[in-house]
Chains A and B, each alone.
Chain A
Amino acid sequence: MTEFDAASAAVQAALDAGARYADARVMHRRYESMTARNGDVEELTQDESIGLGVRALVGASWGFHAVPDLSDAAARDAGRRAARTAMASARVPGPPVDLVAVEAVAASWASDCRIDPLGVPLSDKGDLLVAATRTMAEHGADLAEGLYQIWDTAKWFVSSEGHRIDQRIRECGGGISATSIGDGETQRRSWPSYRGQYGTTGWELVESLDLAAHAAQIAEESRALLTAPQCPAGETDLILGGEQLALQIHESVGHAIELDRILGWEAAFAGTSWLDLAQLGSLRYGSELMNITIDPTIPGALGSFGFDDEGSPAVKRDAVRDGRWVGVLAGRDSAAVAGLDYGGSVRADGWARLPMVRMTNVGLEPGPHTLEEIIAATDDGVLMDLNRSWSIDDKRLNFQFGCEVGWEIKKGRRGRMLRNPTYTGIGPLFWRSMDMLSGETVPWGTPNCGKGQPGQIGHTGHPAAPARFRNVRVGVSA
């Protein structure tokens, strides 16, 4: 019994039980992570999980069932249960459900991987983290922490429309953080970001981060931050580094353009969106420098794939063009509700979870400047980088971010380091204030995007580069 056989059996059982559409995903995921602290390995975890999830559409109602057993009997039972659950959904029915058309294909896809991350000896991976955290501890960090994570996922997708797709996606990444503890507060510096940078790539990504080379500097900066002046409160010009801007995109654009949120499907938990579909194509989201794409085809970016978990092929689309909102992240059913003709952004966190609208790679196209040019053009402002805290309201409008570090910008030069930098604003007003954007783009990976009930963790990518925003409120504190 192959994985395709199991998925096909589940789909057929759902159809036999009354479904008018069904799809099934078999997923086999291996996961490995290691953490180190102050020169010692702290924890090594390896997980292997395999199972099947089947989704059935009966009338206008969905049902989903997942099992960790790929036998024919278990797969068929899961299909029947999914259909039965869909029938229960009909006790509180919604409007008719349609699915936008997607060509049914038989296909295979795999992410690029030069060095198999699970094939790298554990001792080598441990040595890397131990050395970097030891260096940080030697340079003043009270807590020197390092981490890597690896996911190797194979999946087989079958739909009642004839899809038969297998994919293998290898993802990995890592990072280091130094924390210094003062009297009543802590200060942290990380490289390249807190809990690391990730991609759909092999171990070569971790090697390229050169963790050891940055260990001493971030440890010393975390110590220096304890006595650095507090970020002043007020309105000023704000320059964001690329890593922080990536999260700004994630929170205030990526989630806002999720069609399920716009349609109210996430109203009780993740929230809705300030965006109104009636304004799609006309709403000014940001300045003309703002060009945001939805692009799961970027090689190596964390949100890349060949096909989403509904069998839609990866396609690059515009979300914001010249500052105007023009596109959404959608699935086949949500797109049909909205009268759109594309899905392509539906994924599930493992075999036991329902596929739902998720970000792929949502990022900024490069701008015409460099970070140094932006600093040189700024008379009075603050440069902030590396996220430390993030919070945004349920409509994705009102945000407040804290960063690990700030630098005073005076008369076009980077000055003193500032501690506890924070900034706050309203999404579209903030994006409309962006007047300089660098072309030094990095496809930042976010492996911890939470959404859905039961909770799902999504892996998303966010190409971003440093940018400047005018008259932003900074320095909010308790």
Chain B
Amino acid sequence: MSARSELELAGQVIELVRRLGGPAAQAEAVVTRADLALTRFANSAIHQNVAESTVGVRLRVHVDGRTAAGSGSVVTTDGLGALVERTLAAARLCPPDPGWPGLTPPTPAPDAPPVDEATAHAEPDQRADRVGAFVAAAGGLTTAGYCRTAHRSSAFANSAGHTAYGRSAEAAMDGIARRDGADGVARRCVDRLSDLDGTELGAHAAAKAQAAADPVELPPGRYEVVFEPAAVADLLQNLSWFGFNGKRYAERQSFAEPGAAQFDRQVTLVDDPLGASGLPFDAEGTGRRAVTLVEAGTTLAVAHDRRTAAEAGAQSTGHAIAGGATWGPMARNLRLSPAAAGPASAVGRSTTGAAAGAVVDTDTAALVAGVRRGLLVTDLWYTRVLDPKSLVVTGLTRNGVWLIEDGTVVRAVRDLRFTESYPRALGPGAVLGLGSRAVRQPDRVDGAWWAAPSVRLASWHFTGGASG
């Protein structure tokens, strides 16, 4: 399907709304074709290998002051007609929608990074070969994970005369190596499949797994920590969904207070959807752009779609998503800005003995070197919010934890449970250091990612050990 046909389909939907709903009907349509493929491995063999070629149409209409949304996968003339008819019928039966913010006016879409065609049209053999390289590089350790590619081609049209079109392509790899139940992980999200090096990632994961063997159990309590980028990604995701969400902010369920110095001065958070391959518009057709949410510790903004922006007297920041009336607008390409220049430190100086391999990059090594007693945490797992306003979250460490003493990783530690307020842990004075390189981590769905350097925090509340 060409770009023209997706725009044509979107235009056809708008025309059908006009014909069936009358000239006063307002409508917006998004047509997206996706080619998604994921090659999954476990026990060092590919065991699930899937691909889907899909097309989806999403329609939102506003007629006689009432709003409804519909979607479908049938793009024949009959299928589109049925979608329009049932969505119009649904809108007419809905109560009035006084908060309808109107449609996005015609505006030029921003330029998006070019799509790597090789990634967009990657073959299963190419993914399998990267998996093979990962497995081989793990040196006989058991491995598991995935290599995926995604290509989206999407068109937007509304009855206000606004149209937009864009494409995105992304590749990601996420794998673990296992030694005696101890896991090491390597995870990367890129624009070009050719930038995924299975050998490098497999060796990285294996080194971490080797270093994670024979862990000891530590008592719970507050520890200074160094979080690697995979762990920091979880902080960013929860801050985004529960804090910098314009709907939750309007509902007073968010901690965010624009203008207030809520974070440490080292914290700058930028949502940068076009900092990597991405669609140049959101679900309402608003152009996407970089939005600074926190600058040098001061909260500046929350993410808005047209509805939350209208409520707040602000402008949409280009964060509308399907279902946004319920879930709110989301920043899904959040970057914690790295330090301008991290202190140099040789990797080997930060680890010793059996824990050698725990630290695999100079950024983390430099942060570890400053810790008198604390923990190096690779990844967080199954994090859930106890209270959204204070953003108190519980979860566990995963894929490697190590004890740091006098600037050196001395031994592996069993996983710990934590219960911590994320904004508090990143609050003024709480960030003791940042790495100099943000590493892009994949989300569970393509198009979303979280980029962060390693981070050193003054205190993290571990509330339970592996045995309870």
Contacts and interface: CB of A to CB of B under 8 A. Distances in A.
Contacts of B389: 181, 184-186
A392 B382 contact: yes
Nearest to A472: B468
Contacts of A388: 386
Given A44-B69, A429-B468, A391 B396 contact: yes
A391 B395 contact: yes
6 contacts: A35-B326, A62-B48, A68-B73, A92-B44, A424-B464, A453-B38
A65 B45 contact: no
Contact of B415 (A61, A393, A422): A393
Given A64-B48, A185-B389, A268 B420 contact: no
A62 B417 contact: no
Contact of A44 (B68, B176, B251, B383): B68
B392 A264 contact: no
Interface of B is mostly: strand
Given A51-B54, A477-B419, A267 B42 contact: yes
B25 interface: no
Contacts of B326: 35, 42-43
A123 B392 CA distance: 39
Interface in B1-57: 36, 38-56
Contacts of B90: 44, 46, 122
A424 B419 CA distance: 11
Contacts of A61: 46, 49
Contact of B381 (A65, A184, A393): A393
B345 interface: no
B124 interface: yes
B468 A122 contact: no
Interface of B: 36, 38-56, 67-74, 82-83, 86-87, 90-91, 93-95, 97-98, 123-125, 127-129, 131-132, 135, 142, 144-146, 148, 174-176, 178, 183, 185, 251-253, 323, 325-326, 381-390, 392, 394-396, 398, 415, 417, 419-421, 424, 444-445, 461, 463-464, 466-468
Size bracket of the A interface: 35 or more
Choose among B55, B94, B415, B420 the residue with the greatest number of A CB atoms under 10 Å from its CB.
B94
Nearest to A392: B382
Given A186-B389, A398-B396, A45 B48 contact: no
Nearest to B150: A454
A477 B95 CA distance: 42
A91 B125 contact: yes
Given A179-B253, A393-B396, A476 B419 contact: yes
Given A47-B72, A389-B386, 5 more contacts: A47-B70, A92-B45, A353-B50, A398-B464, A478-B392
Contacts of B383: 391
B320 to A, nearest CB: 13
B47 A391 contact: no
Contacts of B70: 45-48
Contacts of B91: 44
A122 B93 contact: yes
A221 B41 CA distance: 48
A142 interface: yes
Nearest to A124: B93
A14 to B, nearest CB: 13
Interface string A91-127: 1111100000000000000000000000001110010
A86 B198 CA distance: 20
A267 B128 contact: no
Given A48-B83, A88-B124, A454 B38 contact: yes
A264 B141 CA distance: 13
Contacts of A181: 251-253, 389
B245 to A, nearest CB: 14
B52 A50 contact: no
B253 A454 contact: no
Contact of B71 (A45, A64, A68, A393): A45
A50 B183 CA distance: 40
A42 B39 contact: no
Contacts of B176: 267-268
Contact of A478 (B384, B417, B421): B421
Contacts of A142: 251-252
B386 A402 contact: yes
A340 interface: no
Given A68-B54, A400-B394, A424 B417 contact: yes
A43 B325 CA distance: 6
Contacts of B323: 43, 45
B209 to A, nearest CB: 12
